[in-house]
Amino acid sequence: MKSFIRLTACLLTIVLLLSGCWSRKELNDIAIAEGVGIDMAGNQFELTVQIVNPGSVTRAKGEHEMPVIVYSSKGDTLNEAVKRLTSSISRKIYFAHIRILVISEELAKSGIVNSMDYLMRGSEFRSDFNVVIARDTSSKELLSVMTPLEKVPANYIFNSLEAAKKEWTAAVTIQLDQLSNALVTPGKSTVISGIQIIGDHNVGTSKKNIDYTGPPVRLKYFGNAIIKKDKLVGWLNEYESRAYSVITNQSKRSAIHLNCPEGGNIGIDVARIKSKIYAVVKNDKPEIFIETRAEGNVSDVECKIDLFKVETIDYLDKQYVKFAKANMENTIKKTQKLGADIFGFGEAVHRANPKYWNKVKNNWEEHFKQLEPHLNIDAKIRGTGTLGDSVVNDMKE
C-alpha cells in the first residue's frame, strides 16, 4: 500500500512538472512573415512586411489569388512601426519564419546599426536569416515584386541568392548574426549583396508579371555593398565581387573565359577553389599572405587551339593565374582606398601576433591602406571535356 501511494505521488509530481502547450500559436490567429524590409521615411523608419496569404495555399486549383500581401507602416523606432502594423492587420505577425531582410540603399548609407538592434534584441526574431540591400530602389518596392518559379517572393530572393553564391560566386550570403559580429569586430568591414529591380516597378507588383513566359520585371543580384563600420561606403562590381569570394574562401564553383593565343575565347568551368589568409609580423610590420589553389576544366572552345599539347595546357594555366591575380589585386586596392578591410586581414594579424594587434587595432585602417599582400596562386586545368580536339579546328581547316 505504501508503494502504491509513493508511485501515485511520483506520477502526480511528474504531471505537475510537465510543460503544456502554453505558448502555442494557432495558424488561424497569426500572419506568417517571410520577408521584412526597412526604409527611411524622413527621420522615421518604414517597415515593410511580406506576409503569406493562406488563401492562396488552400484555394482550389484554377482560382487565382495573390500568394502574398505586403503591409507597411512608419515609426520613430522599429518597435513602433511593428506595433502600428496591427492597426491594418487582423492577425498577430509571426516573425520566426523570416527568410530574408532587405535594407534600402538609403538606410545603408546613413547607418544600419540602429535598425539591427531591435532585430537582434527582439525575442520574436531569429538571427539566422540572410540580409541583402535593395539597390537603386526601396525595400518596399522590391518586396512587392511578384516573382516566377516561387510563389512567395521572399523565398525567390533567398533561393536565388543561395544559387548565385554556389554557381557564380558574385553574390555572398551573410546572416544577421554574422553581420552583427562583423560590425563589432575591431578593424573589420564586411559586404552585403545588392539586389535590384530590372524593368517597370509598377508592372512587377501585379500578377501579370508571372503570367508571361518572359516576366517583364525581374529581380537580379548586382554587386556587393562595402559596409565600413555600419555604413555603405562603396560597391564591388561583378569581377571584384568574385575576387572577394575567392580571397575569403567563399567561392565554390564558377566560370571564366581566357584568351586564346591566336584570338578568340576558351571557356573554363571552375570546379574547386581553396584560399587561405595568414599574416607574419616582421620588424614591427605586418605582412599578409594569400594562398589560392584552383582547378578547372575546359567547358567550351571558340578558337583554334590544340588541347593535346602540354604547352597549350601550360599556357592556359598561366593565363588563369594572370586573370585571377589581376582581379584580386584590383579588388584589394579598391578597398584599401576606402579603408575597409573586408577580407579579414586584421583578424589574420590578430591570430599571428595578439600583442602586436593590440597596439595597432585602433588605427588599423591606416596600416591596412599600406599593406602589399603577397599572392600565391596555383591554377590548374585538369580536364578538357568529352571532346579531344576542338570542333572549331575542324571547321577552320
> Per-residue pLDDT averaged across 229-236, rounded?
96
> Per-residue pLDDT averaged across 158-166, rounded?
92
Q: What angle do CA 186, 228, 364 make, to 5 degrees?
A: 40
Rounded-to-integer distance, Cα 30 and Cα 89, Å: 10
Asked if residue 188 and residue 328 are part of one domain, the reply reads no
Least confident interval from 126-130, 131-135, 302-306, 391-395: 391-395
Tell me if 11 is assigned to some domain. Answer: no
Asked if residue 120 and residue 229 are part of one domain, the reply reads yes
Residue 63: its pLDDT value, please? 53
Tell me if 241 is assigned to some domain. Answer: no
pLDDT tens for 280-320 read 999 999 999 999 999 999 999 998 888 888 999 999 999 99
Bridge partner residues of 234 (DSSP): 226
CB distance 133 to 195 below 8 Å = yes
Residue 111 identity (one-letter amino acid) = G
Asked if residue 221 and residue 264 are part of one domain, the reply reads no
Least confident interval from 86-95, 282-291, 320-329, 348-357: 86-95
Rounded-to-integer distance, Cα 372 and Cα 289, Å: 9
Least confident interval from 118-122, 186-190, 282-286: 118-122
Asked if residue 397 and residue 352 are part of one domain, the reply reads yes
For a pLDDT cut of 70, what percent of the chain falls above it?
A: 87
Asked if residue 144 and residue 53 are part of one domain, the reply reads yes
Tell me if 173 is assigned to some domain. Answer: yes
Among the three residues 236, 266, 295, which one is the final residue of a domain in this structure?
236
Residue 62: its pLDDT value, please? 45
Among the three residues 236, 270, 286, which one is the final residue of a domain in this structure?
236
Query: Model confidence at 106, in pLDDT bands (50, 70, 90)?
Result: very high
- How many structural domains compose the chain? 2
Cell of 44: 522615421
Tell me: pLDDT of 57 over 60. no
Burial 317-333 (b: 16+ CB within 10 A, else e): bebbbebbbebbeebbe
Residue 22: its pLDDT value, please? 47
Asked if residue 263 and residue 222 are part of one domain, the reply reads no
Tell me: pLDDT of 397 over 70. no
What are the strands of the beta sheet with 374-383, ordered from one edge?
Answer: 254-259, 265-282, 285-301, 374-383
Residue 121: its pLDDT value, please? 84
Residue 20: its pLDDT value, please? 53
Tell me: pLDDT of 161 over 90. yes
> Per-residue pLDDT averaged across 338-362, rounded?
96
Tell me if 1 is assigned to some domain. Answer: no
Tell me if 147 is assigned to some domain. Answer: yes
Asked if residue 59 and residue 200 are part of one domain, the reply reads yes
Query: Model confidence at 201, in pLDDT bands (50, 70, 90)?
Result: confident
For 319, the domain range is 250-397
Tell me: pLDDT of 353 over 90. yes
Residue 87: its pLDDT value, please? 84
Tell me: pLDDT of 206 over 90. no
Residue 140: its pLDDT value, please? 95
> Per-residue pLDDT averaged across 275-284, rounded?
96
Asked if residue 275 and residue 219 are part of one domain, the reply reads no
Residue 205: its pLDDT value, please? 80
pLDDT tens for 169-178 read 899 999 999 9
Among the three residues 236, 260, 281, which one is the final residue of a domain in this structure?
236
Rounded-to-integer distance, Cα 144 and Cα 205, Å: 5
> Per-residue pLDDT averaged across 21-25, rounded?
53
Asked if residue 266 and residue 232 are part of one domain, the reply reads no
Asked if residue 121 and residue 78 are part of one domain, the reply reads yes
Tell me: pLDDT of 390 over 70. no
Asked if residue 171 and residue 108 are part of one domain, the reply reads yes
Backbone angles phi, psi at 212, to 5 degrees: -110, 155
> Per-residue pLDDT averaged across 45-58, rounded?
84
Residue 217: its pLDDT value, please? 92
Tell me: pLDDT of 21 over 60. no
Average pLDDT, the chain: 88
Tell me if 20 is assigned to some domain. Answer: no
Is the pLDDT higher at 214 or at 260?
260
Bridge partner residues of 290 (DSSP): 277, 375
Residues in CB range of 250: below 8 A, 6 or more apart: 165, 169, 172, 244
